Amino acid sequence: MKAFPKINLHIHSTYSDGTNSIREIIDKSVKLGLDYICITDHFTNSWKADIIPSLDTKEKIEDYLYEISEIQQELTNNRQKLTLLKGIEVDITSSYDYITKMVSPKDFDIILFEYLQNNEGIGFIKNILLSWEKGLNLQKDDCLFGLAHFDPSYFEYSSLEILVNFLKEYNIFFEFNSTYPQFYSQRYKRFFTELRANQILVSIGCDSHSSSNLDNFEEPLEMIQFYGLELNFGRFIELLKLIKI
């Protein structure tokens, strides 16, 4: 397979339930020779908020973004090849008002939505995207949107077409998440065939909660090849290259 950049666009730091600071994640990523990483700490006010720390105040989100900006600047000044992106993982079982009031896609390069499991979830994400589009005059490519560790089994039989049309219309990517290999298992071949046929974007994220698994992208890369999704992945990489830091 042609050489793709080394990417891991799903990483948690001590701003939520990760065990390493952003600084430690960066140092390790530079050592590993990664090309693109994205810090995607949790955002939630559902049941999950009682269990894990998250980006739960405006001040905390500001500190988080500021720290990432500072490190981005350092990486540029030191001419490192690593590109650090600003992300957030939004739990869609949170309330609509909480998400739209607290999170602005103008501040992030990547927003991951987690727990899409039914058509109501599709409607919920659409409403959020529409609200952002209206309120913020969002331009195409201001921010990339994707599904975190999406489980195809929820849409396998009944609503696959609705799902794929949604991903296509809103340019939402599917994430090959190495922490959940069951979600890219061959039993979902039909789902991946649809992704290919509809040119749905695909990404790679390791859902790293410590710096020990920052480079677990070998298996996702193999599966991208197995399902013939190299073009989908290549198109996604081109979008990453367009992001202005």
Residues that bind Zn ion in the complex, under the rule CB under 5 A: 89, 207
Question: What's the rounded Cα separation, in Å, for the pair 95 and 99?
Answer: 6
Alpha-carbon distance values, 236 to 9, 68, 182, 243 (Å) = 12, 22, 23, 11
Min dist CB 89 to Zn ion, Å, is 5
How far is the first Cα of the chain from the last one, in angstroms, to the nearest whole number?
29
- 3-class secondary-structure state, position 209: coil
Nearer to Zn ion, 82 or 148 (CB): 148
Question: What's the rounded Cα separation, in Å, for the pair 174 and 187?
Answer: 17
Min dist CB 109 to Zn ion, Å, is 16
Min dist CB 177 to Zn ion, Å, is 8
Nearer to Zn ion, 51 or 162 (CB): 51
Nearer to Zn ion, 41 or 194 (CB): 41
Residue nearest to Zn ion (CB): 207
Residue 163 exposure: Cα atoms within 13 Å on the Cβ side: 25
Min dist CB 85 to Zn ion, Å, is 15
Nearer to Zn ion, 194 or 207 (CB): 207
